[in-house]
Amino acid sequence: MTHRRPSRPVAGSSAGKADAAEGVGAARRKRFPVQLDCLHPPLADSQPQSAVVPAAGAVAVPDGYGVDSGRVRGHMVQQLRQRHGITDERVLQAMRKVQRHQFVDTALATQAYTETSLPIGFGQTISKPQAVAKMIAALLEVIARPQECRVLEIGTGCGYQCAVLAEIFGQVVSIERIRGLHQLAQSNLAPLGKSNIRLVLGDGLLGDPQAAQTFDGIISAAGGRTPDAWLEQLRTGGRIVTPETGDDGQQYLAVIDRHHTGVKRSVREAVHFVPLRPGVI
């Protein structure tokens, strides 16, 4: 696995305290394919490419070239629907919108829309698209109006899942324990200008130290034993979606619902996420 440090300027970071991604004045990175980024603003993938009519006098540029094209993301979403059974349109729409290639190293950009996890440095990986989709869909099963909800993400990584969550939910708090990745996520998310994201450098095993309210949902991109702190920070009626390691040492996707009467835990398919680790490094 490739270990790399962010090779681009990183927006201001803060250690040990909450840190907002918004308002960080980083200019949009100049990354491959720069020209295509300029030529192709994000398109709705359901929109036939041929329907893009250039303004009078403008040069018609065919879409479908380069990893930033709407068509490539549309294909990924089609695979999520057909091969992986994702039917929640809110998830599909968000994943159609967020440009996954902007969250991985330039050298890996051409693989960004394949069904694979990719190295993001520091020994960590960006989750596979289907893993992101399944976890968020599981959270949404119990959430009718996500725009009114606050979710906590454990394991910001490069910030991709955080960006998808921020398209769907009203507020997203995301915690990362590795300073370099926290900074990478700041840098990746700043250009999106989302005001509903708060990035925290901290130990997610403790939940969000600054949480004034409970969360409607908690989603973890790293697995092990689910800490009690998460249940304490989950509102009644809320759901945790997390990889958990079973007695057999295998990880399973666990869904934990907090009810008035107690906690209900169910286990879904086998999964493979990086381990939850303590402390900030």
Position 90 contacts ligand SAH (CB under 6 A)? no
CB atoms within 10 A of CB 119: 17
Between residues 63 and 94, which has the closer beta carbon with respect to ligand SAH? 94
Q: Which stretch binds ligand SAH (CB under 6 A): 37-45, 63-71, 121-129, 209-217?
A: 121-129
- Phi-psi region at 11: left, alpha or beta (left = phi > 0; alpha = psi -120 to 50): beta
**Residues taking part in catalysis:** 127
Task: Give the pair of three-digit tokens for residue 128.
Answer: 């596979």
Q: Which stretch binds ligand SAH (CB under 6 A): 17-25, 68-76, 123-131, 244-252?
A: 123-131
Find the binder of ligand SAH among 222, 234, 240, 253 (CB under 6 A).
Answer: 222
Q: Which stretch binds ligand SAH (CB under 6 A): 42-50, 54-62, 169-177, 246-254?
A: 169-177
AA letter at 254 = A
Position 276 contacts ligand SAH (CB under 6 A)? yes
Position 221 contacts ligand SAH (CB under 6 A)? yes
Query: DSSP states of 204-252 as a string?
Result: GGG--TT-SS-EEEEEESEEBSPPHHHHHTEEEEEEEEEEEE-TTS-EE
Between residues 146 and 157, which has the closer beta carbon with respect to ligand SAH? 157
Position 203 contacts ligand SAH (CB under 6 A)? yes
Find the binder of ligand SAH among 80, 154, 190, 256 (CB under 6 A).
Answer: 154
Position 91 contacts ligand SAH (CB under 6 A)? no
Between residues 174 and 214, which has the closer beta carbon with respect to ligand SAH? 174
Position 124 contacts ligand SAH (CB under 6 A)? yes
Position 155 contacts ligand SAH (CB under 6 A)? yes
Position 205 contacts ligand SAH (CB under 6 A)? yes
Find the binder of ligand SAH among 91, 175, 190, 199 (CB under 6 A).
Answer: 175
Find the binder of ligand SAH among 126, 166, 192, 197 (CB under 6 A).
Answer: 126
Position 177 contacts ligand SAH (CB under 6 A)? yes
Partner residues linked to 258 by β-bridges: 263
Position 158 contacts ligand SAH (CB under 6 A)? yes
Position 277 contacts ligand SAH (CB under 6 A)? yes
Count of residues of this chain found to bind ligand SAH when the rule CB under 6 A is applied: 25
List residues binding ligand SAH (CB under 6 A): 120, 124-127, 154-155, 157-158, 160-161, 175-178, 181, 203-205, 221-222, 274, 276-278
